[in-house]
Amino acid sequence: MNADGRTRLHQTPEWKALAKHRDELGEVRLRDLFAADPGRGTGCTLRVGDLYVDHSKHLVTDETLRLLRELAAATGVFGLRDAMFRGERINTTEDRAVLHTALRAPRDAVIEVDGENVVPKVHAVLDEMADFADRVRSGEWTGHTGKRIRNVVNVGIGGSDLGPAMAYEALRAFTDRELTVRFVSNVDGADLHEATRDLDPAETLFVIASKTFTTIETVTNATSARTWLLKALGDEKAVARHFVALSTNAEKVAGFGIDTANMFEFWDWVGGRYSYDSAIGLSLMIAIGPDRFREMLDGFHLVDEHFRTAPAESNVPLLMGLLGVWYGNFMGAQSHAVLPYSHYLSKFTAYLQQLDMESNGKSVDREGRPVAWQTGPVVWGTPGTNGQHAYYQLIHQGTKLIPADFIGFARPVAELSDELAAQHDLLMANFFAQTQALAFGKTPDEVRAEGVPEELVPHKTFRGDHPTTTILARELTPSVLGQLVALYEHKVFVQGAIWNIDSFDQWGVELGKVLAKRVEPALTEGAEVPGLDASTKALVAAYRELRGRK
C-alpha cells in the first residue's frame, strides 16, 4: 500500500489484468491482426490538429487498449493532468507548480499560481521579446560600435539549449537567412571557439540562457564570450549592447554584469526541459520573427487543449503514453526510437532525450520508495533515411523489441528547387516502406518463392511484428512543430503519472556536478581530494601526466 492508502501500481487489479491479458494473447502477429480486421488500417488512426496519427501497426487489440485506459483511470492520470493545468504544485520534491501550458495560453486565459493569474506576465514577457526581436531583425538594435547585429550566439545547456537549437534547425526555412544563429552548450572550449572564430564581435549578440544562472558550463562559456568581446571592443560598456540574459534569477544576472533591463524573465514553475516556449526561446524568436513564434505557441496550445479535453479513446498523447507502458512494462522493451523523415528534425530526438529521460529516468516513486516496475525508456534515433544504412538492421533482424515513432511530411519545404523537391517522394517512399517491412516482414516461404537457396532463407527472412506509430502532417510549419513537441510533453506526463514518479525534478544530475567541482583542483593543481576512489585517483594521475603537469 502507498502512504496514502492506495495500492501500489504493480499490485492493482488493472496492472494484474494487463499482465494476464498479455499471457493470454501470447504471440501477437500483425499479419493476423490485419487479416482479422480489414478496417484496421483506417480504424486505428487519430487526428489532432494537423497531425494524422496511425497506430494500427502495434501489437495490441481493442482489449489491450481498453485495459490500458483502465490503468490510466485507476492511477489518477486525469486528476493529475487537471491539477497540472490548474497550477497545483504537482512537482512535489521541489514544491513547484508545473505550468509550461501557461506559456502558450491565450491572452484572456486565467491560470493562477498561489492566487495570482500568471497569463498577463507571460504575455508581457512575450511582448518584450517580440519588441527586442523586431529591433534586432530590423537593425534598429545595433552593437556598441553602431554596427548592425548579424550574428546571434545562444549560450545555454540542457533545456536552455536543446529546445531553441532543435526548433531553430526545424524551422530553418522560416528563419532570416541574413542572420547567423549558433548555439553553444559544451564547456569544452572548442564549442565556443568554433561558434565564434569567423564572427565579427562588433556584429555579435550573445544570448545567455540559464534558468538558474548558476550552471557552471553556461557561466563559464558566458565569461569567455565576454572576454572575447572585450578583447576586440575594449570597452566594458559594450556588454550592455552585446549581452542579454534569459533567466529566473535577476540577482545572478546582475552579478554577472548584464543589465537586468536586458533580461527576459521566466518563472520557477517552468521546468528547464519544458522552457523553450518561454523567454528561453528568444534566439529562436529573433531567427523566425515574433509572428512565426506565436504560430508555434498556438500549435502547442492546440495540443494542450486536446490533451485536456479529448475523451480517452481519441486522446493522442494518452494513447502514445499507454503504448509505451504496454511495451516497457508488459512486453520487455527497454528503448524507444524516434525516427523523423525530415532533415530539419535532425535535433528532434536529441531534444526528446532530455524531455523524456530527464523527466522519467526515476527509480523511486512519489513517496520515495523504490519502484517495482520499469520507468522511462532509453530514447534514441536519427533522421531517416540515414538510420536505414546504419542501425535499422538491428531493428529489423536483431533480438530486441524496439517500438518506434516515424514522423514524416507530405510536402517538402517551399524553398526547395523543383529538382530537390522531387526527391521528397523517394524520401517518403522509404518512410512508408520501412514501417511496412517492420510490421509485416517477409516469411520464409516468400523468400523461397524468390528462388533464394535454402541455406540463405533464414538470413533473408524478416520476422516483422516490430511496432511503429506513424505521425504524418502536411508540412513542417511552426504550428506543426509546436503540436509535435506538446504531444511528446504530454506523453511523458501520462507515463510519469502511471508510474507514480515525479516527472518534473532532476536530482539525478546533481551528484556529477558536485563531484566535478571537487575533482577540478586535483586536475589543475594536483590537490589531494579527500575520499577520491582508487580508480579515479589513478585516472587523474594519468591525465596530469598526459597533460604535461607534474
Window of 105-113, 130-138, 211-219, 392-400 that interacts with ligand F6P by CB under 6 A: 211-219
Q: Which of 97, 102, 113, 157 binds ligand F6P (CB under 6 A)?
A: 157
Cis peptide before 385 (omega within 30 of 0): yes
Is 157 or 428 the residue whose CB approaches ligand F6P more closely? 157
Contacts of residue 277, Cβ cutoff 8 Å, sequence gap at least 6? 100, 103, 104, 163, 296, 297, 300, 482
SS3 state at 243: strand
Residue 486 grid cell: 506538446
* Dihedral pair phi/psi, residue 473, rounded to 5°: -140, 165
Catalytic residue among 169, 295, 358, 489: 358
Angle separating helix axes 290-309 and 316-325, nearest 10 degrees: 70
Positive or negative, the CA dihedral 542, 543, 548, 550 is negative
Is 157 or 485 the residue whose CB approaches ligand F6P more closely? 157
Shortest distance in whole angstroms from residue 56 CB to ligand F6P = 36
Shortest distance in whole angstroms from residue 157 CB to ligand F6P = 5
Residue 528 grid cell: 589531494
Q: Residue 351: which of 409, 274, 423, 260 has the closest Cα?
A: 274
Closest residue to ligand F6P using C-beta atoms? 272
* Residue whose C-alpha cell is 514553475: 269
Shortest distance in whole angstroms from residue 280 CB to ligand F6P = 8
Q: Which of 390, 509, 538, 542 binds ligand F6P (CB under 6 A)?
A: 509
Is 272 or 408 the residue whose CB approaches ligand F6P more closely? 272
For residues 175 and 288, the answer to whether their CB atoms sit within 8 Å is yes
Q: Which of 75, 91, 151, 215 binds ligand F6P (CB under 6 A)?
A: 215
Residues of this chain, 269-308, that bind ligand F6P according to CB under 6 A = 272-273
Is 511 or 546 the residue whose CB approaches ligand F6P more closely? 511
Q: Which of 182, 211, 242, 347 binds ligand F6P (CB under 6 A)?
A: 211
Burial class (CB in 10 A: 0-12, 13-18, 19+), 455: exposed
Shortest distance in whole angstroms from residue 509 CB to ligand F6P = 4
Shortest distance in whole angstroms from residue 211 CB to ligand F6P = 4
* Annotation marks residue 100 as catalytic: no
Window of 209-217, 372-380, 404-412, 497-505 that interacts with ligand F6P by CB under 6 A: 209-217
Shortest distance in whole angstroms from residue 159 CB to ligand F6P = 3
Q: Which of 56, 91, 160, 185 binds ligand F6P (CB under 6 A)?
A: 160
Is 158 or 412 the residue whose CB approaches ligand F6P more closely? 158
Is 56 or 503 the residue whose CB approaches ligand F6P more closely? 503
* Annotation marks residue 389 as catalytic: yes
- How many residues line the site for ligand F6P (CB under 6 A)? 14
SS3 state at 401: coil
Window of 154-162, 193-201, 312-320, 437-445 that interacts with ligand F6P by CB under 6 A: 154-162
Assign 3-class secondary structure to 478-495: HHHHHHHHHHHHHHHHHH
* Annotation marks residue 513 as catalytic: yes
Residue 426 grid cell: 523517394
Question: How far apart are the C-alpha atoms of 386 and 383, rounded to whole Å?
Answer: 6
For residues 352 and 338, the answer to whether their CB atoms sit within 8 Å is yes
Beta strands in 156-311 (DSSP E): 180-184, 204-209, 243-247, 263-265
Contacts of residue 126, Cβ cutoff 8 Å, sequence gap at least 6? 290, 294, 297
Shortest distance in whole angstroms from residue 155 CB to ligand F6P = 10
* Residue whose C-alpha cell is 565579427: 200
506 makes contact with ligand F6P (CB under 6 A): yes
Residue 354 grid cell: 532530455
Q: Which of 49, 87, 143, 158 binds ligand F6P (CB under 6 A)?
A: 158
Window of 136-144, 152-160, 380-388, 393-401 that interacts with ligand F6P by CB under 6 A: 152-160
For residues 279 and 131, the answer to whether their CB atoms sit within 8 Å is no
Return the exposure string of 15-52: e unless at least 16 CB atoms fall within 10 Å of the residue's CB, then b.
bebbeebbeeeeebebeebbeeeeebeeebebebbbbe
Catalytic residue among 231, 237, 389, 550: 389
159 makes contact with ligand F6P (CB under 6 A): yes
Task: Report the amino acid identity of residue 328.
Answer: G
Is 71 or 155 the residue whose CB approaches ligand F6P more closely? 155
Catalytic residue among 513, 517, 520, 545: 513
Window of 151-159, 327-335, 435-443, 469-477 that interacts with ligand F6P by CB under 6 A: 151-159
Is 159 or 328 the residue whose CB approaches ligand F6P more closely? 159
516 makes contact with ligand F6P (CB under 6 A): no
By CB under 6 A, name the binding residues for ligand F6P.
157-160, 210-212, 215, 218, 272-273, 358, 506, 509
Which residue numbers are catalytic? 358, 389, 513
